Amino acid sequence: MTAPSSESSQQPPQNSLTRKALAGKRILLTGTTGFLGKVILEKLIRDVPDLGGLVLLIRGNHKYPCAKARFHAEVATSSVFDRLRETDPARLHEFLDQRIECLGGEITQHRLGLEDDTYQALAQSVDVIINSAASVNFREALDTAITINAMCLHNLADFAEDAGQIPVIQISTCYVNGYNRGNIAEKVAAPTSGLIPRDANGHFAVESTLVTLRHKCNNLKRRIQDPEALAEALTELGQHEAHRYGWGDTYTFTKWLGEQILLNRLKGKTLTIVRPSVIESCLQGPKPGWIEGVKVTDAILLAYARGKVSLFPGRKAGVVDIIPADLVANATILSVAEALLEPGQSRIYQSCSGTQNPLIVRDYVPTICGEVKGNWHKYPRLTRKGPRKNMKLVNKHLFVALIQVLRGLFTLTDRLRLRTADNKSKTLEAVETTLKLTKIYSTYTSPTYIFSSDRLMALAARMGEADKALFPVDAALIDWKRYFTEIHVAGLNRYGLEDRKVTIPKDAKASSMADEEVADTTPA
């Protein structure tokens, strides 16, 4: 079954517990220059008409030093608001003009990088925090990832306390579960390595681990003077430490560390952790297929569409977990309402499709790749002439071994032909692209886990029928074939790509599961 195309404004506001809970409330929202942040922002404006207001923490950059200027240039002009521009431009204008405050700040800095009087005024004026800011670079330098995804959450916890123990909604990722297998429940994730001890509260004592990790980073900084060599060494250190502790990449490892910091700092307070799986284009709103940039599985699709790969490692019987961005935004908003109505608890919800509507790898790959191959002429930004071969799934370990051998052979051939690193053969480029994508994404295409969303479904049931219609979260609403063939690929072509300016990410910085505000939490 597919959800109705319009999920909002059909239920009167008085029937919605969520609208009642958020009426008159002011929300501090981070990450609004990112994909998910924009979807959350648009949904709040469109479907919570009595919301008191939003304070957006935005770091200025070299192009727009002022937070307000950056918001108007990068967010207010976004196509995410096209639906409101068409259906209710007056409401959009009123909200943007009167109920949004942009603050130039930085979550990684003490007191959010704000002046004392501004910080105090903010603490006295907001009722809840939604934090969707993070670095989603899978191969981030370890010191940077720790700062952005973990240590900065001490600043967030400090602010929540200074604001009167207001609720914190933290956007995390299902993949904090690392190398765990089987059914993955909505609870604290235990590292598979056993290297980090669990405390008496059931959480993990990560402070000593963070001290060790930062010590290793500082050792590299003392030993390596060349900036490029140091950046590469810190990146490799992040991958090594993530693998050693039980995670596939630096991003998911440091997001897990961040969860532990908040669970320990806000024990007995109001904390909700929302874990999305792989976030993709919207199912319903603001527009079916709305997306920004190239996400996890899209990088693979883009490589296939442009003839870079036709083989990819994946476990055919595995469940690849994809969730549309609007369902994640709805889960976040329901979590805000619950936190305001029933404070004083720690909760974990997973916004995912694994148990509600499992998407099997052997069905997913031919469906989405078949759409591109068969109807390539409909997607001019995705491909100019369409792929000639079918995408084939192969065993991960055999595939990696084969690709590494091929890379060695083609590298040798290039050298014999006096080719340089800047003038590689197309064959070697294709092999290296495939190997790079394999290392980054095979965790998600060779799954040994199924994420559960039972608690999120129970929350939706408790909130009632009006909120089920206004803020749907159930992945069972998705007709996967229709989603990929009629919504997602078309949305990627229309919204996610420009006229052949987007290419395969060469530095593995493709956006990930919880596509947060990378630019607002990393140096310009």
CA distance 500 to 510: 16
CA distance 168 to 90: 31
pLDDT score, position 504? 46
pLDDT score, position 500? 54
Q: What are the respective helix, strand and coil percentages of the chain, to the nearest 5?
A: 50, 10, 40
What is residue 46's three-state secondary structure? helix
Ramachandran angles phi, psi of 431, nearest 5°: -65, -45
pLDDT score, position 161? 97
Would you say 167 and 339 are in contact if contact means Cβ atoms under 8 Å apart? yes
Would you say 517 and 105 are in contact if contact means Cβ atoms under 8 Å apart? no
- Pick out the chain residues at pLDDT < 70: 1-14, 414, 418-423, 433-434, 436-442, 500-524
In CATH terms, the superfamily for domain 13-295+321-358+450-479+510-520 is NAD(P)-binding Rossmann-like Domain (3.40.50.720)
Would you say 146 and 254 are in contact if contact means Cβ atoms under 8 Å apart? yes
Q: Two tokens at 472? A: 């749907």
Sign of CA dihedral 496, 502, 507, 508: positive
Task: Give the H or E element holding residue 357.
Answer: none
Crossing angle of helices 454-463 and 325-341, in 10° steps, is 60
Length of the chain equals 524
All residues at 6 or more sequence positions from 224 whose CB lies less than 8 Å from its CB, including other chains: 230, 233
Ramachandran angles phi, psi of 58, nearest 5°: -130, 130
pLDDT score, position 505? 45
pLDDT score, position 9? 45
Would you say 291 and 429 are in contact if contact means Cβ atoms under 8 Å apart? no
User: What residues pair up with 394 in beta bridges, in sequence order?
Assistant: 313
Would you say 56 and 71 are in contact if contact means Cβ atoms under 8 Å apart? yes
Would you say 309 and 430 are in contact if contact means Cβ atoms under 8 Å apart? yes
Return the closest-CA partner of residue 407 out of 426, 438, 435: 435
Crossing angle of helices 426-445 and 296-305, in 10° steps, is 150
CA distance 52 to 63: 30
- What's the burial of 30, exposed, middle or buried (CB within 10 Å: 0-12/13-18/19+)? buried
Q: Two tokens at 470? A: 């206004």
pLDDT score, position 297? 78
Return the closest-CA partner of residue 357 out of 480, 197, 207: 480
CA distance 206 to 248: 18
Amino acid at 423: N
Would you say 247 and 149 are in contact if contact means Cβ atoms under 8 Å apart? no
